[in-house]
């Protein structure tokens, strides 16, 4: 009987700790970075061409313009991604757009809200893209879970930046060979 009480006590403590996570951790943040041996003008333009995004984020199945503003800030896009054989619809809004310097994107993907702040810097012909990302949730249960997935979210964002680097370097190489 004592063993059962110990096991139940451990389960209760772990459950309380899990639910306390949603109260204590309001936002999950992470960073990613990549350096590309291309001029900032080329990197920034290619990165901010919505139709090309699916070239480095293979989960994107559909990218649709809802409202595209001249200065980009305030532009809205609907995106359909496939994740584990399930289609997820998200909305992307451009919150800030400073040519060749910065772009901030806000995503509303069902239960998750995410802000990606990309900065672009060039030094000796090498452009570095730095991502600062912040995630939170519309639901309490999801906000309890997000901190436990921060490493996975960071790894996924790093993979996408690495994919972008490969894409743009291969694209520029293949275009210049014609």
Burial of 74 (0-12, 13-18, 19+ CB in 10 A): middle
pLDDT grade for 135, boundaries at 50, 70 and 90:
very high
- Angle among Cα 166, 168, 172 to the nearest 5 degrees reads 120
pLDDT over 90, % of the chain:
48
pLDDT in tens, 33-81: 999 999 999 999 999 988 888 889 989 998 888 988 888 899 999 999 8
Helix (H) or strand (E) holding 131: strand 126-137
Topology annotation, domain 2-58+94-176 = Alpha-D-Glucose-1,6-Bisphosphate; Chain A, domain 4 (3.30.530)
Determine the average pLDDT of the residues in 105-120: 92
Q: Where are the domains of the chain?
A: 2-58+94-176
Looking at per-residue confidence, does 81 or 110 come out higher?
A: 81
Give the tokens for residue 120. 């672009």
Task: Report CA-CA distances (Å) from 129 to 6, 14, 68, 141, 158.
Answer: 50, 39, 23, 33, 11
Q: Where are the alpha helices (DSSP H) in 1-39?
A: 2-24
pLDDT tens digits, 78-101? 999 888 888 889 999 999 999 999
Q: How many CB atoms lie within 10 A of CB 129?
A: 21
């Amino acid at each position: 009987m004592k063993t059962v009480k110990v096991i139940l006590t451990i389960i209760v403590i772990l459950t309380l700790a899990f639910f306390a996570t949603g109260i204590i951790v309001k936002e999950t943040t992470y960073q990613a970075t990549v350096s590309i041996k291309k001029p900032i003008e080329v990197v920034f333009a290619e990165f901010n061409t919505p139709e090309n995004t699916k070239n480095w984020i293979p989960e994107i199945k559909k990218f649709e313009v809802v409202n595209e503003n001249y200065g980009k800030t305030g532009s809205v896009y609907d995106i359909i991604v496939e994740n584990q054989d399930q289609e997820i619809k998200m909305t992307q809004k451009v919150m800030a757009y400073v040519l060749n310097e910065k772009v901030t994107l806000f995503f509303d993907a069902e239960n998750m809200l995410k802000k990606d702040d990309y900065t672009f810097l060039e030094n000796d012909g090498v452009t570095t893209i730095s991502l600062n990302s912040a995630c939170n949730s519309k639901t309490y249960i999801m906000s309890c879970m997000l901190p436990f997935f921060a490493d996975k979210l960071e790894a996924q964002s790093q993979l996408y930046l690495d994919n972008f680097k490969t894409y743009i370097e291969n694209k520029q190489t293949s275009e210049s060979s014609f």
